Structure 1
């Protein structure tokens, strides 16, 4: 798990996240470094805690979620999860296409045009699919060794970037407010661990049950925290001296411009490879999530849907949208609320000691163990829905100060402006679920079903896609 989350977070996207802390939240470098630590390592500690469910149940996160929300009630959270995974694929693919375009320009002098842009998007998508289709064990092996290679390349690039810092401007920058730090931590959490919270169990499901849960939490927090704190802090350091990174429509080109010309190729290879390591995990989890939705189709069609959506999103980012950061932060803001609401319910359920019946997790017909009432476990579904409503009331969604998509009635309150909408969402979801669960004997009766400990784990529910399932595959 350490290498899984280290590999997923050595991409160059950490630099733009750090840039937003300085440019949009007014923090100085030291505040940004603290916020980066709390937001990234803290949110991935949550990912590690939720991964305990994967170890217990031996199934992907959203399959385990059926036990909490019910066979039908789980469809809403699963759909949000699939959109989240595809959204992150689009972000990674767009950034990687920028890197590939710059690499072609540096190596062959090819200038960017619409056709070349689409080709670069497709090249990255194909590379991602090639790796994500290799199976769980192979992906874990790739994560470890590729992390060494691209991790070293990133360290070299970071060394040269530090040399470009205007230290006088950094040291003289004023400090931001406490509320700005709180809001910044929320942005970092939404852009790092919260985005992976509903996928953590996907990679922990083959682990032996005897492994202590605390080790999962520590491995996840440190594995993701080490590269993220370094990259986010560096992004803040660069922006404190020059705000150009935070306003660039192409963050790859902005970083490239800060480096010596001979560093272009190593930097762009590191950027492309780091994004590939993150993206193939998203595609892998997106495939598992699509199956959990109950879409019975061939694997080729499922992959085709993923490719079409990702390609369309990449074209929008690169050829239609006027800015990278506007759509990027909008995406994080919108999805942080429903995902955090799910974390509140599912995390509380895990903390209460839920045990899973592996066979029942794959049964979605009336009368099955996790059917509950009408296919919904009402305490979980109601808690999730109410928390989303409360969270959205505290949220403002915008691509720029002049382009506001949605503004909740409480978004300009202290909680809203401090970026604490996601935290309130979590508290409401967890607290309401605790109360409603006590009032529902049927919900509690399914928490420790007979035979829950008889499974060997490792179910990835891929039989519907025509993929043979075997332990450790």
Structure 2
């Protein structure tokens, strides 16, 4: 069955809490787009209350030498700002009713879109592996405290299995269940995080915090890049995945604000707390196991609520990531149901967790290296996608699902070179400034401009954004203005039956 035929087999009532969402990447008919920005606020809030924000803040103070005021400024600009980009991409989900990487077919062509989609999928799997590994550390520590069970390979695998099984339940059921769980679980795990944070603040060396000298402006600018790359940029290619169920009358500004505030509030608080904890003590910034590093800062009786909060926050983040990865896998051309794609993704995540915990000797080294590498092509994609949104408010549902020569987005052999070439150019330029290494002795890659100011401050992804966006505006904008396939409008299956035309929700 082709993807075009598959679009007509989806029942209209599958997006319900507790039911398996059977829709894959097919555009959501307007009648089923009933969501509001409040849903997006809680989805993004829940996805960002994990303890991984604490080490990010710790690096700003302990490794980059910022004072707390600079760290708070960097946390605010980097988190709220980067998730504003996620919110902007979410608008395309409202316009087209499809996931981010499916909408991307309209920009790059069905074949040209393979490259960005592979990168997007690798990014999601990588973040899921980090979440799964960190959560398993938390569960192992909890088992040790509650039952006296010391960590061993068998117990490690069991801990990983528990986490991925819980993720599979929520992500497998789909959008409606995910939205419901993310909101109500946030109340529980958010409250636990507040309690834990109150005790962590008691450990802050306030003299060291207040006496810390300011870092140069260049360090602050670079810090914004680090936070943006480690937070919103990593989620940008999932922006439309949840917004595709938003009602078309919802104002765009409210969607952007929901993503920016939903993620920015918890990230700002966690990154700020990480900076406070690291004043005079750099152990958290360099910890190979952040769960244990934070646990030792708490009184022993707080260990259980802390570990529960850590486990729950990571689970909420993983729910969204796995859901998005399943949609991305289908966009790549894997002909399977969405729930099966989620299951395949879970298996790969489990394998990655086993590698990190039982084979790899360093946890955060490969993690930082991984996100540094992928941040470059993802940012180049974001620049092209946002540039295209300047000239597009509508997507052809049939064209998005048709990956053959008959697609309205076939362009030249399935490639829209005016988008593919800027993406490739931005990626190459960004890599020129990048050094990817886990340590001074383990350098994976070092670009020829890595020793420049942009390179030493980790801002190669900024160069990628500027180059890709500028080239796309130069090469790709003309086709959109001429009313090429980028501006054509088609009909969803439901609209074909009623004769209603799909229209842009916001201009």
TM-score by length of 2: 0.87
Matched, 1:337 2:376: yes
User: Of 152, 155, 158, which aligns to 1:113?
Assistant: 152
Indicate how the Cα distance of structure 1 residues 73 and 372 shifts in structure 2: closer, same or farther if over 3 A, else same. same
SS at structure 2 position matched to 1:133: helix
Matched, 1:419 2:493: no
1:59-458 correspondence to structure 2 within 5 Å: 59-297=98-336, 302-438=341-477, 440=479, 444-451=483-490
Indicate how the Cα distance of structure 1 residues 399 and 444 shifts in structure 2: closer, same or farther if over 3 A, else same. farther
User: Is contact 1:358-1:455 (8 Å) kept?
Assistant: no
158-167 vs 298-307, which moves further? 298-307
Give the deviation of 1:301 after TM superposition: 5.4
1:224-273, CA deviations, whole angstroms, 9 ceiling, x for partnerless residues? Answer: 01100000010111011321111221110110100111111111001001
Match of 1:52 in 2: 91
In the alignment, structure 2 segments of 5+ residues that lack a partner are: 1-39, 497-507
Give the deviation of 1:439 after TM superposition: 5.6
Indicate how the Cα distance of structure 1 residues 136 and 297 shifts in structure 2: closer, same or farther if over 3 A, else same. closer
In the alignment, structure 1 segments of 5+ residues that lack a partner are: 458-473
* In structure 2, C-alpha distance between the alignment counterparts of 1:225 and 1:34, rounded to whole Å: 12
225-234 vs 181-190, which moves further? 181-190
321-330 vs 5-14, which moves further? 321-330
SS at structure 2 position matched to 1:404: strand
* In structure 2, C-alpha distance between the alignment counterparts of 1:407 and 1:251, rounded to whole Å: 27
Give the deviation of 1:354 after TM superposition: 3.8
* In structure 2, C-alpha distance between the alignment counterparts of 1:443 and 1:198, rounded to whole Å: 27
SS at structure 1 position matched to 2:164: helix
SS at structure 2 position matched to 1:399: strand
User: Is contact 2:381-2:423 (8 Å) kept?
Assistant: yes
1:422-451, CA deviations, whole angstroms, 9 ceiling, x for partnerless residues? Answer: 111111111101111246579851122143
Give the deviation of 1:304 after TM superposition: 4.5
143-152 vs 299-308, which moves further? 299-308
Match of 1:465 in 2: none
User: Is contact 1:47-1:220 (8 Å) kept?
Assistant: yes
User: Is contact 2:409-2:486 (8 Å) kept?
Assistant: no
1:102-141, CA deviations, whole angstroms, 9 ceiling, x for partnerless residues? Answer: 0001101111112211111111011100111122111111
1:156-178, CA deviations, whole angstroms, 9 ceiling, x for partnerless residues? Answer: 00000000111112222222222
Indicate how the Cα distance of structure 1 residues 453 and 355 shifts in structure 2: closer, same or farther if over 3 A, else same. farther
Indicate how the Cα distance of structure 1 residues 108 and 44 shifts in structure 2: closer, same or farther if over 3 A, else same. same
Give the deviation of 1:367 after TM superposition: 2.5
Indicate how the Cα distance of structure 1 residues 222 and 388 shifts in structure 2: closer, same or farther if over 3 A, else same. same
Equivalent pairs counted in the alignment come to 457
Give the deviation of 1:208 after TM superposition: 1.4
TM-score by length of 1: 0.93
* In structure 1, C-alpha distance between the alignment counterparts of 2:371 and 2:482, rounded to whole Å: 32
* In structure 1, C-alpha distance between the alignment counterparts of 2:271 and 2:404, rounded to whole Å: 46
User: Is contact 1:41-1:224 (8 Å) kept?
Assistant: yes
User: Is contact 2:391-2:480 (8 Å) kept?
Assistant: no
Indicate how the Cα distance of structure 1 residues 441 and 213 shifts in structure 2: closer, same or farther if over 3 A, else same. closer
